[in-house]
Amino acid sequence: MAFTTSQILELYQKEALKHGENGTCTIQDIRTRNLEIEAIFSYLRDGLKILEIGCGNGFTAQAIIENFQVELDATDFSADMIALARERRVANAKGKVNFSHLDVLCLYIVNKYELIFTERCLQNLASWEDQKRALNNIVTALRPDGYFVMLESFNTGLTKLNQARKELALPEISPPWHNLFFDEETTKNYLESIGCFYVDQNPFLSGYYFGSRVLLPALLPDGVQASSDSVLNDYFCHLPPHSDFCPMKILRFRKG
């Protein structure tokens, strides 16, 4: 086991203290956060009953209820994050949100939600066995014909990103110490085995990551480190998401 549950909780306690209710909480690059929200919006419509697993400080949940007339249950394993989420005050919201402190490994809900999504949450589980247990709980909580929108990190995108960096003599990027990336085919096969079938995927960050993690560091003078604060990233975040140059992407599944 590369990391422990207590280490994850300590990490997100520090994130909560550092970032508060800001969109940079759990992800330093606000452009990535905004692109995530835009991608998640593409799967939403009014009237849905939704479960968000890994809601953090509630930044995405607030954006959802401001824009959609939905019933949203938003959960997180970190009590510090949920405390921040519950402090949010939303005026003139279209939808409703309920924040709760919940471990996805202890999610005991059956056939309740039309849509469930995760947002860089399951990759913080320390083993494939725990990840499978979480996936099983998610499928159980979905209604028949409901959709699971899985926004997590996969090895396929990281491999291709590092291939591009290697061609430009850039060092390899490794997964963060607190993440266990998914194997795409293994994940698809497991979900199919428990009755949730692959529909499609959305590599929505591929263009931005190619620009910010490949082109930007290659263009900079020797000795200058690439930063997410670079104004060039204001352009790169509008690049089309061609191919698969980012570990983070969405895989969508439907419960049979």
Domain limits, the chain: 5-255
Q: Which of 124, 190, 113 is nearest to 151 (CA)?
A: 124
Residue 67, pLDDT above cutoff 80: yes
Residue 1, pLDDT above cutoff 70: no
Determine contact, residues 191/139, Cβ cutoff 8 Å.
yes
Q: What is the mean pLDDT of residues 12-19?
A: 91
pLDDT for 219-248, tens place per residue? 999 989 999 899 999 999 999 998 999 999
Q: Which of 150, 90, 142, 100 is nearest to 120 (CA)?
A: 150
pLDDT for the residue 91: 86
Determine contact, residues 239/216, Cβ cutoff 8 Å.
no
pLDDT for 171-216, tens place per residue? 999 999 999 999 999 999 999 999 999 999 999 999 999 999 999 9
- Alpha-carbon distance of 61 to 50, in angstroms, equals 10
Give the model's confidence band at 28: pLDDT under 50 very low, under 70 low, under 90 confident, else very high.
Answer: confident
pLDDT for the residue 10: 93
Tell me which fold the domain 5-255 belongs to.
Answer: Rossmann fold (3.40.50)
